[in-house]
A and B are shown apart, each in its own frame.
Chain A
């Protein structure tokens, strides 16, 4: 049913890539063991910044989960035939991203062996309860879809009729994962940086930028490696989606900036000031946020000019810039900015430790490993006569 044996046959380059990934996974696992033994003291977290790199990666990876719906929706609902060869790639990428996100949650917990308490003692008041449900549900949905469709292709028969409503369900479900993750933050009265209705829309559009950007990079990589060509038509359409969503993302940020700086409530402006200009001599995040701004502007320039957007080399660069810019924003600044200044006005410093980075690298490598193996199976099934 899972055809894992197809992932055991590959070229030399494939095996070198797998070995590199597994080595990083092992390092990350050892670093995590150290954290599990000593406690979260091995990270850079402190009394005021209790959620750091791990949870920021979680937010970003949930965003990458949009890579599925961004191709599934147009293909299945609006018959965009160009996306025909990308839907499975998107579904696998989306599913593995959400698995990574959940691994990051586990990594950040103080008593991870008690994680089942969330299900044994359900508390629907808590957004974490709903997040666990929608994230696991999404992985399950995509897993069922992928296995069924690949299985049908392998057998050489059309997929069963019941898979259509399941795929349809995955579309609103995919939207929900971003909304629920944003709701984790946007309902907290004590954290004014996140207490904005535009947080969920921001999460959605940045997801719809970062997800397809990564998908484009993967499509072009497979194309360059000569193993699979999903079609330049699909790449062009995805690039358009990234362009528009990045524009809307920048627009949303500017909306926030206006409200915050025109209304001038100190409790709200402080967080933006800390991020963009530094506060009380602490400039830790200033260079990174401006780098994110710079990258997004350069990326938008490359994307807005049609001649450049359709050039695959420039498009790859634009997508990398989009990915990094959104990683700096959603994968770091957005989270830390909410904690500084603290409820008691402290300007805390947060620097992730080497141990933390190693665990992060390990989980990213786990995701890359899963994607590689599943893509290998997908491509092997595609190549069958």
Chain B
């Protein structure tokens, strides 16, 4: 058969492309990106939420117990440079958490008082919407979860989060973890991390470590979908606010004033 060298090369190239293309299509359609419902799905609906009692918290005057408990349990590195901190739950002055709530006349009631902030595990999380790989997603039980095997470190979720709840690992965190909890993995450099509502403890029926460590029941954690739960009683009894509700994220962390 009289075929020119150019045509032969073109034909081989196209055949190779077609073969590789088939494999690519198989890879894309075969792998499911959305996490399927767990085989052992809970029989009743669960929506985890948390209430932080600001009044009780004010009495604690900036207790570090919650942050320390979380850091110890989850191998959160203590980075010396505050500009590169990795933090899941920490204290922040009231006026920075609720900037729209400040007035000259009410300043003395709250000015400078630290309150705990963490990932709000929003009902409508912008971070989940922007993640290009599905490394962060919203579980059936409401937790906004992270998969550190999938995260490519694009940091779009940090950009999208209106609350500054996420941190990036600028370098290998292992050297900064003191002491190490061998029962929980660490993260590697180049991935984003945030509070995971102690999903691994919830799976064993335990409360999150920060709630257990919180002084004097100033943090209440429970199932918002269960009308009989303690958290629902508390929310029904006293007024509470959430961070930046006007953005439509519908946070699940409530602050009781």
List residues of A whose CB falls within 8 A of some B CB.
1, 38-41, 43, 45-48, 50-51, 105, 108-112, 114-115, 117-123, 125-129, 132, 184, 188-191, 266-267, 342-346, 348-349
Q: How far is the CA of A118 from the CA of B153 in the complex (A)?
A: 12
**A110 x B168 contact (CB < 8 A):** yes
Q: What string of 1s and 0s marks CB contacts (under 8 Å) between B63-105 and chain A?
A: 0000000000000000001011100000010011101100000
Q: What string of 1s and 0s marks CB contacts (under 8 Å) between B112-153 and chain A?
A: 000001000000001011111111000000000000001111
Chain A residues whose C-beta falls within 8 Å of the C-beta of B247 in the assembled complex: 189-190
**B152 x A109 contact (CB < 8 A):** yes
Q: How far is the CB of A274 from chain B (nearest CB, A)?
A: 15
Extra pairs beyond A110-B168, A267-B99, A344-B92 (8, CB < 8 Å): A46-B83, A110-B154, A110-B191, A117-B134, A120-B27, A123-B133, A126-B130, A126-B156
Comparing B36-44, B54-62, B169-177, B214-222, the segment that makes contact with chain A is: B169-177
Chain B residues whose C-beta falls within 8 Å of the C-beta of A349 in the assembled complex: 83
Chain B residue with minimal CB distance to A184? B156
Q: How far is the CA of A278 from the CA of B24 in the complex (A)?
A: 50
**A343 x B191 contact (CB < 8 A):** no
Contacts A114-B151, A343-B161, A344-B92; A109 near B131 (Cβ below 8 A): no
Q: 24 A-B contacts, Cβ less than 8 Å apart? A: A39-B172, A45-B168, A46-B81, A46-B84, A48-B164, A109-B152, A109-B153, A110-B192, A111-B151, A114-B133, A114-B150, A114-B153, A117-B133, A120-B31, A123-B133, A126-B129, A189-B249, A190-B247, A191-B159, A343-B162, A343-B164, A344-B92, A345-B99, A346-B96
**A128 x B132 contact (CB < 8 A):** yes
Chain A residues whose C-beta falls within 8 Å of the C-beta of B81 in the assembled complex: 46
Contacts A41-B170, A47-B83, A51-B155; A125 near B129 (Cβ below 8 A): yes
Q: How far is the CA of A47 from the CA of B153 in the complex (A)?
A: 13
Q: How far is the CA of A104 from the CA of B27 in the complex (A)?
A: 27
Count the B residues whose beta carbon is within 8 Å of the partner chain — how many?
54
Q: How far is the CA of A117 from the CA of B167 in the complex (A)?
A: 21
Q: How far is the CB of B86 from chain A (nearest CB, A)?
A: 8
Q: How far is the CB of B106 from chain A (nearest CB, A)?
A: 17
Q: How far is the CA of A120 from the CA of B30 in the complex (A)?
A: 10
Chain A residues whose C-beta falls within 8 Å of the C-beta of B92 in the assembled complex: 344
Chain A residues whose C-beta falls within 8 Å of the C-beta of B117 in the assembled complex: 344
Chain B residues whose C-beta falls within 8 Å of the C-beta of A115 in the assembled complex: 152
- Which one, B33, B128, B151, B170, contacts A39 given CB within 8 A? B170
Q: Which secondary structure dominates chain A's binding surface?
A: loop
- Is B189 part of the contact surface with A, judged by Cβ < 8 Å? yes
Chain A residue with minimal CB distance to B10? A1
Contacts A109-B190, A189-B248; A344 near B130 (Cβ below 8 A): no
Q: How far is the CA of A154 from the CA of B164 in the complex (A)?
A: 56
**A112 x B152 contact (CB < 8 A):** yes
Chain B residues whose C-beta falls within 8 Å of the C-beta of A39 in the assembled complex: 169-172, 189-190
**B152 x A188 contact (CB < 8 A):** no
Q: How far is the CB of A115 from chain B (nearest CB, A)?
A: 6
Q: How far is the CB of A363 from chain B (nearest CB, A)?
A: 17
Chain A residues whose C-beta falls within 8 Å of the C-beta of B126 in the assembled complex: 188-190
- Is B235 part of the contact surface with A, judged by Cβ < 8 Å? no
Contacts A50-B155, A118-B133, A125-B129; A110 near B169 (Cβ below 8 A): yes
- Is B160 part of the contact surface with A, judged by Cβ < 8 Å? yes
Nearest 6 pairs between A and B by C-beta? A110-B153, A190-B162, A110-B190, A46-B83, A128-B132, A39-B189
**A188 x B132 contact (CB < 8 A):** no
Q: How far is the CB of A155 from chain B (nearest CB, A)?
A: 11
- Is B158 part of the contact surface with A, judged by Cβ < 8 Å? yes
- Is B3 part of the contact surface with A, judged by Cβ < 8 Å? no
Chain A residues whose C-beta falls within 8 Å of the C-beta of B99 in the assembled complex: 266-267, 345
Chain B residue with minimal CB distance to A348? B83
Chain A residues whose C-beta falls within 8 Å of the C-beta of B168 in the assembled complex: 40, 45, 47, 50, 110
**B170 x A40 contact (CB < 8 A):** yes
Chain B residues whose C-beta falls within 8 Å of the C-beta of A105 in the assembled complex: 154
Q: How far is the CA of A109 from the CA of B168 in the complex (A)?
A: 11
**A121 x B134 contact (CB < 8 A):** yes
Chain A residues whose C-beta falls within 8 Å of the C-beta of B169 in the assembled complex: 39, 110
Q: How far is the CB of A343 from chain B (nearest CB, A)?
A: 4
Chain B residues whose C-beta falls within 8 Å of the C-beta of A41 in the assembled complex: 84, 170-171, 189
**A126 x B132 contact (CB < 8 A):** yes
Chain B residues whose C-beta falls within 8 Å of the C-beta of A43 in the assembled complex: 170
212-257 of chain B: CB within 8 A of chain A: 244, 247-249
Q: How far is the CA of A267 from the CA of B102 in the complex (A)?
A: 13
Chain B residues whose C-beta falls within 8 Å of the C-beta of A48 in the assembled complex: 83, 164
Q: How far is the CB of A385 from chain B (nearest CB, A)?
A: 22
**A110 x B96 contact (CB < 8 A):** no
In this complex, the member of B85, B100, B154 whose beta carbon has the largest number of chain A beta carbons within 10 angstroms is B154
Contacts A110-B191, A121-B150; A50 near B133 (Cβ below 8 A): no
**B171 x A123 contact (CB < 8 A):** no
Contacts A117-B133, A128-B132, A343-B163; A111 near B191 (Cβ below 8 A): yes
Q: How far is the CA of A246 from the CA of B54 in the complex (A)?
A: 52
Q: How far is the CA of A349 from the CA of B84 in the complex (A)?
A: 12
Contacts A39-B190, A110-B190; A126 near B131 (Cβ below 8 A): yes
Contacts A189-B247, A189-B248, A344-B164; A123 near B131 (Cβ below 8 A): yes
